[in-house]
């Protein structure tokens, strides 16, 4: 029988809470909100967040224990706005912006700008598909190197 270790159960609860709140509200909960919701000391939640970040489940803001990215969601405003379910979400990059409608299983409008010329770009996702097929998505680094510096990528 496979029995989860206490830290694994805690990490799952913290992860599910963070991702559930951001999916529902378009806002990443604070560590104190997560601790209160789970009835845990904030220090335990923060240790769990460190483990989750070490496992690349989420990204902490530099030199803090605050969630910066719960991919595909960004905790801070970014150049990648995703409007879905009557809310505005932010994504760290276009890859994650396209991942938000997939994660929500919902239609979405994505607004960003061209990294080359700065022109506005609008992308619509309808019924799990892009509504238009023209365009190019460029990644400055191969996916294998994204975690070398995920904040830059």
- Summarize pLDDT for 53-99 with one digit per residue, the tens: 999 999 999 999 999 999 999 999 999 999 999 999 999 999 899 99
| pLDDT for position 3 | 47
For the cut 70, the answer to whether the pLDDT of residue 147 exceeds it is no
- Which pTM was predicted? 0.86
Rounded average pLDDT over 133-146: 74
Q: Which CATH architecture has domain 6-70?
A: Orthogonal Bundle (1.10)
Domain 76-148 has CATH 3.15.10.60: yes
Burial of 34: CB neighbours in 10 Å, binned 0-12, 13-18, 19+: buried
- Residue 110, phi then psi, degrees to nearest 5: -110, 130
Burial of 90: CB neighbours in 10 Å, binned 0-12, 13-18, 19+: buried
Please give the share of the chain, as a percent, with pLDDT higher than 90: 75
Domain limits of the chain? 6-70, 76-148
């Amino acid at each position: 029988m496979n029995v989860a270790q206490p830290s694994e159960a805690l990490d799952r609860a913290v992860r599910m809470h963070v991702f559930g709140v951001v999916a529902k509200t378009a806002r990443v909960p604070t560590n104190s909100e997560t601790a209160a919701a789970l009835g845990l000391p904030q220090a335990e939640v923060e240790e769990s967040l460190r483990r989750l970040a070490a496992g690349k489940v989420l990204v902490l803001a530099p030199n803090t224990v605050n969630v910066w990215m719960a991919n595909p969601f960004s905790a801070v405003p970014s150049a990648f706005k995703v409007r879905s379910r009557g809310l505005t979400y932010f994504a760290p990059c276009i890859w994650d912006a396209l991942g938000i409608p997939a994660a929500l299983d919902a239609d979405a409008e994505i607004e960003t700008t061209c990294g080359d010329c700065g022109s506005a770009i609008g992308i619509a996702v309808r019924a799990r598909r892009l509504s238009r097929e023209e365009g190019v998505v460029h990644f400055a680094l191969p996916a294998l190197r994204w975690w070398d510096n995920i904040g830059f990528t």
